[in-house]
Amino acid sequence: MSALDALDERQREAASMLRGPVAVLAGAGTGKTRVITHRIAHGVDTGAYSPQRVMAVTFTAKAAGELRGRLRALGVGGVAARTFHAAALKQLNFFWPTVAGDSAPSLIDNKVRMLGQAADAMRLRPSTATLRDVAAEIEWRKVSMMSIEQYAELQRPVSGIRPEQLIELQTAYEALKDERRQLDFEDVLLACAGMLEAEPRVAAAVHEQYRHFTVDEFQDVSPLQNRLLELWLGDRRDICVVGDASQTIYSFAGAQQRYLLEFERRYVDATVVRLETNYRSQASILTAANALMKGRPGALALTPAGAPAEDDEAPTVTAYDSESDEAAGIADTIVRRIAGGAAASDIAVLYRAHAQSAVLQQALAARGIATSVLGGTRFFDMPEVRQAVLALRGAAVAPNDAGFLPTVRDVLRGLGLTDEPPQAGGAQRDGWEARRAILRLAEEAPPSTTLRVFADDLMARAKDQHEPTLQTVTLSTLHAAKGLEWPHVLLAGWAEGSLPISYATSFENIDEERRLAYVGITRAARTLAVSWARSAGRGERSPSRFLAEIGTTARGTGILRDVAPTARRAARQG
Determine the residue type at 246: S
The DSSP secondary-structure symbol of 161 reads S
Q: Which residues, at least 6 apart from 196, have a Cβ–Cβ distance to it below 8 Å?
A: 202, 203, 206, 228, 231, 232
Across the strands, what pairs with 528?
489
Yes or no: say if 73 and 460 are a contact pair by the CB < 8 Å rule: no
3-class DSSP assignment, residue 174:
helix
Q: Which residues have CB under 8 Å from 44's CB, separation 6+?
A: 50, 51, 54, 76
* Farthest CA pair distance, the chain: 83
Question: Annotation-wise, does 48 bind a ligand?
Answer: no
Tell me: is residue 426 an annotated ligand-binding position: no
Q: Is 29 annotated as a binding residue?
A: yes
> Cα(460)–Cα(439) distance, rounded to whole angstroms?
17
Determine the Cα–Cα distance for residues 165 and 57; give it in Å rounded to an integer.
Answer: 37
245: annotated binding-site residue? Answer: no
Tell how strand 239-243 and strand 316-320 pair up. Answer: unpaired
CA dist 499 and 350 (Å) reads 12
Question: What burial letters (b/e) apply to 459-487, b meaning 16+ CB within 10 Å?
Answer: eebbebbbbbebbbbbbbbbbbbbbeebb
Pairing of strands 524-533, 473-477: unpaired
* 254 among annotated binding-site residues: no
> How many Cα neighbours within 13 Å face the side chain of 310?
0
Flag whether 482 is marked binding: no
Establish whether 87 is an annotated binding residue.
Answer: no
Instruction: For residue 30, say whether it is annotated as part of any ligand binding site.
Output: yes
Q: Which residues contribute to the annotated binding site for ATP? A: 26-33
Q: Which residues contribute to the annotated binding site? A: 26-33
